[in-house]
Structure 1
Amino acid sequence: MTHESAPQADGPHELLAVVRDLTHQVRVAQRGTWFPLLVFAVITLVAIPVYRYAPYLDLFDTCRSRPQHTVCMAPNPTQLGYWTVALVLAYAAIAGFYVRQSRRRGVGTPIRPYVVVGVALAVLMAAVSIWLTFHPLIPVPADPFSTDPVEIEVGPAAWLVNGLASPIAVIALALLVLARVERNWALLAYSLVYLAIVMVQGGQVIHSTSPWFFLPYLLVPAALLLLGSAAFALIRPTTEVPGR
């Protein structure tokens, strides 16, 4: 986009076409999709050492111990606290980025709804996770120390609620809002594919005694976010809105 003035229209149809073209160019100039994806990829990768080395804080009294063996029936509150804080800080950084971009390009982006929804989703995720700790939708085994395989039937509603309450899915839900804010069809398609992949991945159970068993749950979303960030960075606008 250049500093050229808008072309003159000879009639109402030509004028409407010019307005539509300028509106499209303004919307493209407002976009900064690559940055939120990069920020989310970073906090997902930073979560790896948190998952591996953060101590388990039994705040909800769900752990049961036997000699040399402890079973906890709730997610680590340390991980939940990390995601809540990390997501809120991520949205603060994203808001700052869009404000700076708006000043540089001379066109504003209505980023506030996205940031508000993102922060609300982060807080709601924490609340739902705590609620599920005391009201699990997925049945827990009567004997948590039993080594016998137990077949647990999980209904679609329980699977959906548990999946959407995960921080990885919350990121995808917020990206859907960003796609609406930016009116970005490419981001909408990306967000839907990303959400589908993380929901399918979250529904899989990994049987492993390795302390790194969680890696696929974090590395796959991080890789998707990094690839998406790189793709949107290649097509991002680099100049000002025409007519300015």
Structure 2
Amino acid sequence: MELILQEMNEFIWLMEQTLWWIGCVIVIILGFIFIKRMKENPVSKKFTTGLAVFAFTYGIARILENIRKYIVAGYENRTDISDAWIAGDQIAGINYTLRILYYAIAWFGIATFYFVSEKYVFKGKYKYILTISSIIEGIVSILNYIPEDGPHIITTAISAIGFFIAAIFPVVLYAQMGLQNTGVLRKSCFIVAIGMAIFVTSVVADLPESTYIVNLVGGTPLPVWITSIVAPICLFVGMFTLTMGFRQMFSSLF
């Protein structure tokens, strides 16, 4: 029985790696699609440039995380970050460096995406709160890794609040924009909102912060199928949906 369980875990581990690497390739390809769209429609150049930056930076960040998790840490240490936090410790060395780079690059891309959305879609209506909150969230997320005795409750709380604003609020805004419009713009806004919700699900499911908080509250970590299977699948489903939504939106906005 133990042998069967071990083989299943190893299979899930292999599938997880495969799905995340596929996700990286898909995101990078979408970046090139945005560039192609930018060349086809110069009017929307600045907006699509932001989307391309988002796709490329998130793809690069995810590649770094894949290297950290699947090559540097490996199977035996696949939950090393949350395990270290629970033990009151931190990851170190190249593990630490790659994780910090992941956050810095990923949140830079997300902030860029929010900036172009707020400037060219929402026309500055929300005072760039999404851009600001994403920058703050990126900084606080990195600060979670600085204390030697694990993340402090204050930074964890701020990170949770910042993530809510940076991740959930945009979904609401695009859905609201859909309700306020008609035709193609209405449909595209709803598609973007759905895509963002799926993408956020991917991010949340993969975050060690999620496992850490769930473990603190419930005493057990997130089920492995959520972090290993659901998260990567939601990544490329969410990105595809976002692309479809923005592709339709371009014809309405520009």
The higher radius of gyration belongs to 1
More helix by share: 2
Larger RCO (alpha carbons 8 Å, 6+ apart): 1
Tell me if both proteins adopt one fold, taking TM over 0.5 as the criterion. Answer: no
